[in-house]
Amino acid sequence: TGRSPRAAAFLAAALAVCGLLASCAPEDGGVRGTPGASGLRDPYFPKLGNGGYDVGHYALDLAFDPATGRLDGTARITARATQDLSALNLDLSGLTVEGAAVDGEEAAVNRAGDELTLRPRDEVPRGAGFTVTVDYSGVPEPLTDADGSTEGWMNTSGGAVAVGEPAGSTTWFPGNHHPSDKATYEIALTVPSGLQALSNGVRVSSAAAPGGRTRTVWRSSEPMASYLATVMIGRYETTTGTALGTVPVLTAADPALAASTAPLRAELPTVLARQQDRFGPYPFGAAGAVVTTDGLLGYALETQTRPVFPAGSFDRTTLVHELAHQWFGNSVTPESWRDIWLNEGFATYAEWLYAEEYGSVPARRSFEAAFADEDNWAFPPADPPAAENLFDPPVYQRGAMVLHKLRETVGDEVFDGLLRGWAAGHRHGNASTEDFTAYAEAVAGRDLAGVWDVWLYGKDRPERP
């Protein structure tokens, strides 16, 4: 269709302005969109994630050679532009990018630290769906996060473990690595036959590949934040079963730990059933747990559908905690890293509830113990002072205290409905602290500033618990 006179006049004006401004004058002189932002201005990690587009799906095809530690990957990312895009960024730490394409056409690639900029030949118009393909390889390196933990892709003797919150996923695939951009995933792992290659979700196929290898494909059909993606390659003993009537369960353990961890792994369906009674429908189509001996992994993580545990932290309380995250954190995901107490406070309170119902320790007693512990009063849970504090005791314990005070204020019945309603209302989405306080007040039918001011935002320990 022809251009209207007004559009033509506008175009002429825009060209004239662009002629004066270097910032909007691309080499070829045409009128172009703007580059997507290189970060989402998260209060703790301003460069995590990228602006201008929304990822819908990641298809990762990864080949790993344990003998050399080398990873060969292709990431196919399906996204939608949220602005006219002349260029877009992906987060990737380490590794070498061999090439990239947007909608099948080779794109110019620029690398500056952990930011990868792709400039497609043609601008992607706002609202359009597009596909990015990135070929990359190298020996992945884990990263040290703000609190000193090692995370990301960790090569082990004879395999690898990839896990990391908040930013470890940037070490093994390019993407929009901020929790606010959730997507579905398909992760294909090609490794020497005889090794296990485990990941999130449901195993959809496993087939022989050239070079004595096997290619296994895992599918996560429900949206997942990138920090919850995981890969475990190596020798594992696996057990399969069913939970909640229809959900396939796969647990795995390092062979040396298989026998000692079998009883607790066998309890997983019971824990899930009890939590489903409490929190509402389990949000995912698969479940499980993996126990690894890898020395580098310093914490258990609620990796989606298949939490991972270092050998020393596979106990019932931690299992309850990581499984509770499937509702609180994985299905209802923080809008930004400032909202991390919505994960850790809820998962900790899930421990207290479990102990109350099945271990005869009243939640009030857990609350009082947490109240008495000096470590929990370093800062308010809604406002960790820095990235290195995101997983400090106040986030967990004071976060749980907020929920207990809320429960004491609104009563058990309203509180129960509130937990289920929160999980249901933001299922497979994102939510912030403000969303939660507004929601709780709506359900309670009254102002709850008295709870928030003291327990969620208050700096000091009050007189009495």
For binding to Zn ion (CB under 5 A), which residues are involved?
344, 347
CB within 8 A of 345, min separation 6: which ones?
Answer: 381, 395, 396, 398, 399, 400, 401, 402, 403
Question: Closest distance between Zn ion and the C-beta of residue 302, in Å?
Answer: 6
Compare residues 396 and 415 and give the one whose CB is closer to Zn ion: 396
Q: Determine, following the binding rule CB under 6 A, whether residue 123 of this chain makes contact with ligand ARG.
A: no
Q: Determine, following the binding rule CB under 6 A, whether residue 351 of this chain makes contact with ligand ARG.
A: no
Q: Choose among ligand ARG, Zn ion, none what residue 114 binds, the Cβ cut-off being 5 to 8 Å by kind.
A: none
Compare residues 131 and 313 and give the one whose CB is closer to ligand ARG: 313
- Ramachandran angles phi, psi of 300, nearest 5°: -80, 150
Residue type present at position 325: H
Q: Are 339 and 431 in contact (CB under 8 A)?
A: yes
Question: Closest distance between Zn ion and the C-beta of residue 227, in Å?
Answer: 12
The CB density around residue 219, as the number of other CB atoms within 10 Å, is 19
Question: Closest distance between ligand ARG and the C-beta of residue 446, in Å?
Answer: 32
Q: Determine, following the binding rule CB under 6 A, whether residue 391 of this chain makes contact with ligand ARG.
A: yes
**Among the candidate windows 15-23, 247-255, 294-302, 368-376, which touches ligand ARG by CB under 6 A?**
294-302
Q: Determine, following the binding rule CB under 6 A, whether residue 300 of this chain makes contact with ligand ARG.
A: yes
Question: Closest distance between ligand ARG and the C-beta of residue 138, in Å?
Answer: 23
Site string for ligand ARG, 126-165 (x = CB under 6 A): -------------------x-x-x---------------x
Q: Are 219 and 158 in contact (CB under 8 A)?
A: no
Q: Choose among Zn ion, ligand ARG, none what residue 294 binds, the Cβ cut-off being 5 to 8 Å by kind.
A: none
Cα(407)–Cα(359) distance, rounded to whole angstroms?
19
Q: Total residues at the site for ligand ARG (CB under 6 A)?
A: 12
Q: Choose among Zn ion, ligand ARG, none what residue 147 binds, the Cβ cut-off being 5 to 8 Å by kind.
A: ligand ARG
Q: Choose among Zn ion, ligand ARG, none what residue 145 binds, the Cβ cut-off being 5 to 8 Å by kind.
A: ligand ARG
Q: Are 142 and 188 in contact (CB under 8 A)?
A: no
Strand partners, 380: none
Question: Closest distance between ligand ARG and the C-beta of residue 402, in Å?
Answer: 17
CB within 8 A of 165, min separation 6: which ones?
Answer: 151, 227, 228, 301
Torsion of CA 252, 345, 271, 322, to 10 degrees: 0
* CA terminus-to-terminus distance, the chain: 70
Beta-strand relationship, 429-431 and 332-334: parallel
- Ramachandran angles phi, psi of 403, nearest 5°: -65, -35
Compare residues 86 and 331 and give the one whose CB is closer to Zn ion: 331
Q: Choose among ligand ARG, Zn ion, none what residue 299 binds, the Cβ cut-off being 5 to 8 Å by kind.
A: ligand ARG
Q: Determine, following the binding rule CB under 6 A, whether residue 42 of this chain makes contact with ligand ARG.
A: no
The CB density around residue 99, as the number of other CB atoms within 10 Å, is 12
Question: Closest distance between ligand ARG and the C-beta of residue 150, in Å?
Answer: 9
Binding site for ligand ARG (CB under 6 A): 145, 147, 149, 165, 299-302, 321-322, 344, 391
